[in-house]
Amino acid sequence: MPYKKPEIEKIYYTVGEVSEMFGLTPSHIRYWEKQFEALKPFKNKKGNRLFTKDDIETIRLIHHLVKERGLTIDGARKKLKDNRDDTLNNYEIVKRLQDIKQELMDIRDKIGPPQSN
């Protein structure tokens, strides 16, 4: 049996890596950090922000609310503060539906256009 190198998952991500994940600038992430209580990355002795997977999920939720659904910062902050669980659940449902839609579109493209007799 060949040796399989174990996957090593990162514990912390830099603000540059996180901003790249979402197509945002690092200053955008820092701004959201100031605006949302739920987003509190660890800072090392040099003051560099280090984001955990939980922080990234919070950013993913904020990104969904602000960039995809078009809520204001105040609206997104209220939504996360008042009912974070419902917001997270709705986000996951929307994400699953988008994935299913993409799969169906891929199948449609593989099959090709309908044949007329």
CATH of the domain at 45: 1.10.1660.10
Residue 57 lies in a domain: yes
The reported pLDDT for the residue numbered 112 is 76
Residue 5 lies in a domain: no
What mean pLDDT, rounded, does the chain reach? 85
* pLDDT(1) > 60: no
User: If residue 51 lies in a helix (H) or strand (E), which one and from where to where?
Assistant: strand 49-51
Residue 8 lies in a domain: no
Domain coverage including residue 105: 13-111
pLDDT in tens, 23-34: 999 999 999 999
**pLDDT (mean) for 1-9:** 67
The CB density around residue 52, as the number of other CB atoms within 10 Å, is: 14
Residue 101 lies in a domain: yes
When pLDDT is cut at 50, 70 and 90, the band that residue 5 belongs to is: low
Residue 62 lies in a domain: yes
The reported pLDDT for the residue numbered 17 is 93
Type of residue at 67: K
pLDDT in tens, 71-112: 899 988 888 888 776 777 777 787 888 889 999 998 888 887
Residue 72 lies in a domain: yes
The structural domain count of the chain equals 1
Residue 21 lies in a domain: yes
Residue 19 lies in a domain: yes
SS3 content of the chain, % helix, strand, coil (to 5): 60, 5, 30
C-alpha triplet 97, 93, 54: angle, nearest 5°: 125
